[in-house]
Amino acid sequence: MKNLSTSYLGLNLKSPLIVSSSRLTSSIENLKQAEENGAGAVVLKSLFEEQILHSIHALAVPSGYPEADDYIAGYTKAHSVDEYIDLIIKAKKELSIPVIPSINCFSSDGWTEFAEKIALSGADALEVNVFFMPTDRKKTAAESEKVYFDLIEKLSKSIKIPLAFKIGPRFSNILYILDQFYMRGIKGVVMFNRFYEPDINVNKLEIIPAPVFSTAEERRYVLRWIAMASSQDFKLDISASTGIRKGEDAVRYILAGASATQVCSVLYQKGLPYLRTLNQEISEWMEKHNFNSISDFRGKLNWGNYNRPEVFERTQFMKHFSSMD
């Protein structure tokens, strides 16, 4: 087996494969199994802002006594967080690989106290998953982006562990956003999140969830921006997410410039032991191409290193198809 170690958020990973936030990372048993099968790190299942708010509203039935209502809301909120903190502490005791909690939020309010508790629990880093639907047609893109910047400012004041932001591709200028992250002290970025998407059942006339598992074809949404972002003068560690089905998929992302890759869908379908197969496939590819370490080929084909960088630019789409008969 080749040397698959890499660095992400200043952490040493024995493999570039990170098990991403999901039900697979919600129990100590699964976390230990992930480590045993070769995961480089684990991102714990997210603590959701909306989940906590829902619990508060569901349990805090108005009693007519505001103090009592506030107490119930506070207890529910703290209880959810305390369970999560307990998972972090147990994971740190049981695992030798980095443990990265995740918070999933849609606003810049109310999360700094949770993040501070998470940092104090011994977490190696924190992944912040921020997304909200821009449904207000009067709100500008800059106003929406400010939510991210406000959250970074608040978190940076209260915690010192490395921060990574998990984002979606729906920005007017992704490179600008990443530059702003870097200037505000963010250490890494996960590109990209996959969000709930609706579909329509035409027979029952109902709105239903679209398929949730990623496919290898979805790499095309990710590769370009990793290749372009990794070549910039802002130095953010990039973790690639979406579409990793085989070891070669992880290799593609690393060639584009990713420091690590996040795996989820294929592990749901094939189980955590499949991490061994993925690591073996990466190692075999490295052997075939005479690479001794991940650093030997990371970013080799990014926007700055490839001899035809124009292939990453959108205008090439038209040039490519106009040349076809």
Of the pLDDT bands very low, low, confident and very high (cuts 50, 70, 90), residue 68 is very low
pLDDT band at 59 (very low <50, low <70, confident <90, very high): very low
Residues 6+ apart with CB under 8 A from 60: 69, 72, 73, 76
The answer to whether residue 261 sits within a structural domain is yes
Which pLDDT score is estimated for 228?
Answer: 96
Position with higher pLDDT, 213 vs 175? 175
The model's confidence at residue 55, banded by pLDDT at 50, 70 and 90, is very low
Please check whether residue 211 lies inside any domain of the structure: yes
Say which CATH number the domain at 132 has. 3.20.20.70
235-248 pLDDT per residue, tens: 899 999 999 999 99
DSSP string spanning 56-68?
HHHH----S-HHH
Residue 291 lies in a domain: yes
Q: Which residues contact 300 (CB under 8 A, 6 or more apart)?
A: 255
The CB density around residue 41, as the number of other CB atoms within 10 Å, is: 29
318, part of any domain: yes
User: What would the mean pLDDT of 279-293 be, rounded to a whole number?
Assistant: 98
Q: Give the helix ranges, DSSP H, for 159-296.
A: 174-183, 220-229, 247-256, 265-270, 274-288
Please, what is the average pLDDT of the chain? 87
pLDDT above 70 covers a percentage of the chain that reads: 84
**Residue 43 lies in domain:** 6-322
Tell me how far apart the alpha carbons of residues 173 and 240 are, in angstroms, rounded to a whole number: 18
**Domains in the chain: how many in total?**
1
With respect to residue 1, please indicate whether it lies within any of the assigned structural domains.
no
Higher pLDDT, 132 or 301: 301
Q: How far is CA 315 from the centre of its chain?
A: 29
Q: Within its chain, how far is the Cα of 244 from the centroid?
A: 13
Task: In whole angstroms, give the CA distance from residue 264 to residue 276.
Answer: 14
Answer whether residue 137 is part of any domain. Answer: yes
Cβ proximity of 304 and 267 under 8 Å: no
Count of beta carbons in the 10 Å neighbourhood of residue 188: 26
Residue of higher predicted confidence among 322 and 261: 261
Q: Are 217 and 169 in contact (CB under 8 A)?
A: no
For the chain, what's the residue count? 325
Task: Identify the three-state secondary structure at position 41.
Answer: strand
Rounded CA separation 88/279 (Å) = 26
